[in-house]
Structure 1
Amino acid sequence: MPPPSSTAATWIGLAGPTASGKTAAALALAQALPVEIISVDSALVYRGMDIGTAKPSPQEQALVPHHLIDIRDPTDSYNAGAFVRDATRLVDEIRARGRLPLLVGGTMLYFNALIHGIDDMPSAAPELRERIELEAAEQGWPAMHAQLARVDAVTAARLAPNDSQRIQRALEVWHASGRPLSSFHAERAAATTEPGPLALLSLEPQERSWLHERIAQRFDAMLAAGFVDEVRALRARGDLRPELPSMRCVGYRQVWEALDRLWPEDELRERGVAATRQLAKRQITWLRGMAQRTVVEAAAPDAVQQVQRQVRAWLDTGRVTFPG
């Protein structure tokens, strides 16, 4: 095996849209190589949210060490900055144990932040967030969007008037720093350098219909496994609100609304599948902007074997090195 090099990657990434087969490919790699998995998923961090996040089962987690799963209560927040800090630390710790870090997930913002760095923006302030939410409850999010347009026209122009999560964050940044969110993005763009060596695999289907069918099948499986009861139990805690980041996760938002509005199951299914398809579309758009990724056809019968062969090739050529 070639000696370690400054051009070698220190971790392997396995990305892809939801339902593309990442878990199966990761577990296959874990059977062949001494890896530990770092989850790159903004929903898997939450405890008690198992069915709707398609969280790896206890049996799957027992096969290989997993990290950044079940590390937050649903009342808490978790963001790209926290992920970069946690993942960077874990990469070093895993390599110190003589194992390979395997980063697996579909939260492309987290991958992007780890590869390119993150804006030095103010962190979320609960009091400020609550104030904005109360104002939105009185005036509506379109009015908050108009307010944002007066202080940060660039950000407002790329957001829909009802995109509550992003409008809220942009207003938070403005009130906390006195600067528009777009100014932080412009600073990062000016300072961005080429990322270091990467070994990033992406499971992407050529045909959207293949992915859409898998999304529908998985949502049906979630419903059959008790997804609605899982959300009922979360609501029964009494300390969760639909505005929290955890409850905004795709699927959870739709089930919460279904319970509020007494939707029949077929309407919930239709809305849940549609929202998940939109998530997959956004994930694929992110991936296509990652020029250094190596694409594997997710629908190929030998997709898992292709992933294994590519990782072996990287190891053989020194693109990725074992620690030590």
Structure 2
Amino acid sequence: MKTVIVLLGPTGVGKTGASIILAKELQTEIISADSMQIYRHMDIGTAKPSEEQKTSVRHHMIDIADPSEAYSTGRYIAEVVPLIERLQREGKVPVVVGGTGLYIRAMTRGLFTGPSSDPELRRSLLAREGERKGSLYAYLQEIDPAAAVRLARNDIRRIIRAIEVCMKSGSTMSSSQQERTRPLPYDFIKIGLTRARSELYAMIDERVDAMLSQGLLDEVRLLLGMNPDRTPLQAIGYKELVRFLGLEIDLQEAVRLIKRNSRRYAKRQFTWVRQEADIHWIDVTGLRDSGSIAGKIRAALRDAAGQREQSA
């Protein structure tokens, strides 16, 4: 099987800069596995690569959907497969950078095949949540406690999907996770980046401050004028500023919540990644320079290749 490199790790750990250096050295291209970077006009808050970075290395699966569109994991996989096939025909090893656990899991372990979505049921559930905030999460805790533990209380889209699976199939999403399509037929080399939690959290706080300085608030104002789908507005950094613009909270509180929610998200990402098998872990604590991180990734790739040769 042909190789695909997957670079994993929580938000803010240092994946972007290191992946660009790595892709340049390998003379290849990067495939984003971030469920928010797919949306146009959401540049600052999703920490997309800069124009200079995208010019130096070609990136895919960024800016491919309007904020008004709903975008599924199934659609992501359908669009990623031809990209991987093209790159491999050209003799390139794709570098997938993420990000979003569902996208990576669908690639490496197969796509969850639950019941189809029910727009009427979803509207009803949204209305219920609108009448009493938190009611859907409480309901999910009753019918599928295992799914509730994995999901954030404010991740309404995935909470609704978990409830929908229960109501339409008669079984929980947790018990239905075995029902998956086949994983993509590639040799995935998964490299995971980690760093000391206190250092990661400090870097996340710094990044939030930088985003605000770069104009995140104006980006949110622009997004609100586009009648976006509910999903983009649930992204961290956007939903808190929407509350500020709606006069629910002041700016200081919005910034505090962005930082807190970003740290919590990083913790959930790390917890998820730790559950994945066959990951070669790299501790980048103390490293801020992308070149140094890329050097560690190169060493891990050599080790992974050596292990594969020994087991062949």
SS in 2 for 1:202: strand
Which TM-score applies when normalising by structure 2? 0.86
Deviation at 1:96, TM superposition (A): 1.2
> Paired residue for 2:98, among 97, 105, 110?
105
- Identify the match of residue 165 of structure 1 among 143, 152, 157: 157
Mapped pair 1:224 → 2:207: no
Contact 1:141–1:164, Cα closer than 8 Å, also in 2: no
Q: Any runs of at least 4 consecutive aligned residues in structure 1 with deviations exceeding 4 A, and if so which? A: 145-163, 175-179, 312-319
CA shift, 1:33, in A, is: 1.1
Residue-by-residue CA offset, 1:97-129 (whole Å, 9 max, x unaligned)? 221110011212221221111221134344432
Whether contact under 8 Å (2:10, 2:99) holds in the other structure is yes
- The amino acid that maps onto 1:18 is T
CA distance in 1, matches of 2:142, 2:200: 40
1:243-266 Cα shifts (integer Å, max 9, x gaps): x11111111111111222353332
Give the 3 Å change call, closer, same or farther, for CA 212–41 of structure 1 in structure 2. Answer: same
| Sequence identity (%) | 36
- TM-superposed CA distance for 1:317, in Å, is 7.5
Decide whether aligned partners of structure 1 residues 92 and 157 sit closer, same or farther in structure 2, where only a CA change above 3 A counts. closer
Q: 1:199 to 1:131 in 2, by over 3 A?
A: same
Structure 2 CA distance, aligned partners of 1:64 and 1:168? 37
- 1:51-62 to structure 2, matched below 5 A, reads 51-62=44-55
Amino acid at match of 2:174: S
For residues 286 and 134 of structure 1, the distance between their equivalents in structure 2, rounded to whole angstroms, comes to 30
CA RMSD of aligned residues (A): 2.8
Distance (Å, rounded) in 1 between the aligned partners of 2:218 and 2:66? 18
Q: For CA contacts below 8 A with separation 6 or more, give which structure has more relative contact order.
A: 1
Residue from 232, 235, 238 that aligns with 2:224: 235
Is the contact made by 1:297 and 1:303 (CA closer than 8 Å) also made in structure 2? Answer: no
Residue of structure 1 aligned with 2:272, choices 286, 292, 295: 286
Task: Provide closer, same or farther for how the CA distance between residues 270 and 119 of structure 1 changes in structure 2, counting only shifts above 3 A.
Answer: same
Match of 1:201 in 2: 191
Where does the alignment leave 5 or more consecutive residues of structure 2 unmatched?
Answer: none
Letter in structure 2 aligned against 1:76: E
8 Å contact 1:173–1:181 — kept in the other structure? Answer: yes
Check the 8 A contact 2:282/2:300 in 1, yes or no.
no
Separation of aligned partners in 2, 1:148 and 1:127: 18
Deviations 1:170-219 (A, max 9, x none): 2322444454433422545xx999x97431111100x2111011101100
After superposition, the Cα gap between the structure-2 partners of 1:277 and 1:180, relative to the gap in structure 1 and judged at 3 Å, is same
Determine helix, strand or coil for the equivalent of 1:35: coil
Distance 1:209 1:149, change over 3 A: closer
Q: Structure 1 pair 97/219, CA: closer, same or farther in 2 (3 Å)? A: same
What residue identity is the alignment partner of 1:131? Answer: S
Q: Secondary structure at the match of 1:216?
A: helix
Q: Hey, what's the Cα distance between the residues in 2 that align with 1:22 and 1:220? A: 19
Query: Which ranges of structure 1 fall in alignment gaps of 5 or more residues?
Result: 1-5, 320-324
Distance in 1 of aligned mates of 2:207 and 2:34: 17
- Counterpart position of 1:322: none
The whole-number CA distance in structure 2 between the counterparts of 1:29 and 1:72 is 27
Q: Is the 8 A contact 1:198 1:292 kept in 2?
A: no
Alignment of structure 1 residues 17-96 onto 2, 5 Å: 17-96=10-89
Check the 8 A contact 2:4/2:187 in 1, yes or no: no
Query: CA–CA distance in 1 between the matches of 2:10 and 2:260?
Result: 14
Task: Note the C-alpha offset of 1:42.
Answer: 0.6
Aligned to 1:212: 201
CA 1:310–1:158: 2 relative to 1, 3 Å: closer
